[in-house]
């Protein structure tokens, strides 16, 4: 399945965005019960929502910290997936750091953007001379009232497939 194709088609919104969310709901097991949903796709960014529903709440009826972390990771990872060539590069998260500021009492919205210049400077050009690179993506998560709930900083390793070594 060509994930990048579905992400690019979702820029049109409507049915194509619905198809992307359906595929993510089925293909990423965490998303289905928690209803993580892509709201918008542009040429350089992804916006996603973590809804304020019972399954996503902690013991004090706020959005669960782990769910907010997953939203941050999902948004950054999906943006990177939409910006690189999977046939050429492997993408894997190596670290996730969270800072929490405000208790979520409504839907949480995360957005991450990676410009052409940032992709070229931090990924494409370094991989011409290095086996792998690490990039950090800081995703600010807000509730629908605009309160800054948290910032999730995910660290991603990107490597050319011909440099990947796995044990059998």
Task: Average the pLDDT over 143-165 and give the result.
Answer: 94
**Given this model, what pLDDT does residue 11 score?**
92
Name the pTM for this structure.
Answer: 0.92
Count Cβ atoms below 10 Å from residue 34 Cβ, excluding itself: 20
Residue 116 falls within a domain, yes or no? yes
Span 112-133, pLDDT tens digits:
999 999 999 999 999 999 999 9
Our count of domains for the chain comes to 1
**Given this model, what pLDDT does residue 1 score?**
61
Instruction: State how far the Cα of 38 lies from the Cα of 21, in Å rounded to an integer.
Output: 6
Residue 29 falls within a domain, yes or no? yes
CATH number, residue 55: 3.10.129.10
Residue 155 falls within a domain, yes or no? yes
Residue 64 falls within a domain, yes or no? yes
Residue 106 falls within a domain, yes or no? yes
Span 2-49, pLDDT tens digits:
778 889 889 999 999 999 999 888 888 777 788 999 999 999 999 999
Residue 12 falls within a domain, yes or no? yes
Residue 56 falls within a domain, yes or no? yes
Residue 168 falls within a domain, yes or no? no
Burial of 131 (0-12, 13-18, 19+ CB in 10 A): exposed
Domain carrying residue 121? 3-163
**Given this model, what pLDDT does residue 25 score?**
86
Instruction: State how far the Cα of 123 lies from the Cα of 59, in Å rounded to an integer.
Output: 41
């Amino acid at each position: 399945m060509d994930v990048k194709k579905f992400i690019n088609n979702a820029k049109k919104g409507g049915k194509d965005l619905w198809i992307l969310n359906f595929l993510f709901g089925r293909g990423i097991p965490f998303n289905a019960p928690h209803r993580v949903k892509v709201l918008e796709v542009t040429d350089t960014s992804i916006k996603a929502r973590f809804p304020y529903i019972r399954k996503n709440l902690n013991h004090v009826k706020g959005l669960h910290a782990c769910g907010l972390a997953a939203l941050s990771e999902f948004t950054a990872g999906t943006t990177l997936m939409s910006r690189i060539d999977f046939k050429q590069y492997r993408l894997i998260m190596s670290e996730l750091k969270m800072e929490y500021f405000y208790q979520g009492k409504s839907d949480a919205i995360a957005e991450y953007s990676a410009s052409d210049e940032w992709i070229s400077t931090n990924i494409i050009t370094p991989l011409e001379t290095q086996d792998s690179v690490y990039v950090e993506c800081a995703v600010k998560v807000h509730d629908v009232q605009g309160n800054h709930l948290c910032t999730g900083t995910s660290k991603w390793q990107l490597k050319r497939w011909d440099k990947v070594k796995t044990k059998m």
